[in-house]
Structure 1
Amino acid sequence: MNIRSSADDFVSRTNAIVAEFKALDGPLLPILHAVQEAFGYVPDEVKPVLAEALNLSRAEVHGVVSFYHDFRAHPAGRHVLKLCRAEACQSRGGDALADRVRQLLGIDFHQTTPDGAVTLEPVYCLGLCACAPAAMLDDDLHGRLDADCLEALVAEARR
């Protein structure tokens, strides 16, 4: 598929998503979630489409995409590992775990391993403060992490 047909696909699929959600009050967030689910990220090509369809400026659409950490500007790896960086997790050894996971994966936050297996993302609360430190691999939450648990999560994601 060439770049032009890919851009056309983004636009046509985005228009279908907009048609499905446009009648909602405040439809931008549900539309952005649906776009990311469809493509794995929010492509730049869809921002002007959304702006026009919702009577917003491109800057407003871009501002929402860049403000919320759940929206990606690039495709993620096959697995997404989110490591909590909030205070409760930091106080229970989260900084050391962050250093360890970056070492294990050979990447930093907001990056994907060269083989496309894992994207590492920081999050600022998973709601597991009583079970800190915490992480989420894809949609599975993991609490009371230690180095061994973290290594097992990384190994699972790399398979």
Structure 2
Amino acid sequence: MNLHVSGDIGTRTLAIIDAMKDLEGPLLPILHEVQAEFGYVPQESLPVIAKALNLSRAEVHGVVTFYHDFRDHPTGRHVLKLCRAEACQSMGGDAIADRVKALLGIDFHQTTLDGAVTLEPVYCLGLCSCAPSAMLDGAVHARLDAASAAELVQEARR
């Protein structure tokens, strides 16, 4: 690919594109890989991706902002996702969320000052029969109560 990019982010993004451009429908896999590489999708990556895939910047930006899993800023060392779907709410999820926020001293979409934990809402982990649930760094935790929520926060703080 003969795209000229400057900077480390552009160069690393281009390497990802080169490895994945021949996939059918490459935009989502490329965005996932960019996020895996940087921990988020940097704004500097969007025009590189757009040009390489012959898309507008608006199209790429639209996809990034449509899907909740894509982030536009770095996260903490650990990402704690709390289910906010109806089943979890009906089983005490709001109280769990309030407890976790208080223990961390942050709200959703924020990162603790020490950079340890980013707290994110998620709208269904598929554990409705085991509500309320959460996910810490990709590992699911079910049937949370005040004590297990506090243990989860302690684990994330380590």
Q: TM-score range by the shorter chain?
A: over 0.9
* Shift in Å, 1:71: 0.7
Aligned to 1:31: 30
Aligned to 2:72: 73
SS in structure 2 of the partner of residue 122 of structure 1: strand
* Shift in Å, 1:139: 1.2
TM-score (norm 2): 0.95
1:8-55: CA deviation from partner (whole Å, max 9, x where unpaired): 110011101001111111101000010001001000000000010011
CA distance in 1, matches of 2:67, 2:150: 28
Q: RMSD across aligned C-alpha pairs, in angstroms?
A: 0.8
Aligned to 1:127: 126
Q: Report the residue type matching 1:91 in the other structure.
A: S
1:59-94: CA deviation from partner (whole Å, max 9, x where unpaired): 111111111111111100000000000011001000
TM-score (norm 1): 0.94
Equivalenced residue count is: 153
CA distance in 2, matches of 1:68, 1:98: 22
Q: Higher helix share goes to which structure?
A: 1
* Shift in Å, 1:58: 0.6
Q: Report the residue type matching 2:125 in the other structure.
A: L
- Counterparts of 1:73-92 in structure 2, within 5 Å, are 73-92=72-91
Q: Report the residue type matching 1:21 in the other structure.
A: M
SS in structure 2 of the partner of residue 71 of structure 1: coil
Aligned to 2:41: 42
Aligned to 1:109: 108
CA distance in 2, matches of 1:134, 1:85: 9
CA distance in 2, matches of 1:21, 1:50: 11
Q: Which runs of 5+ in 2 are unaligned?
A: 1-5
CA distance in 1, matches of 2:105, 2:25: 40
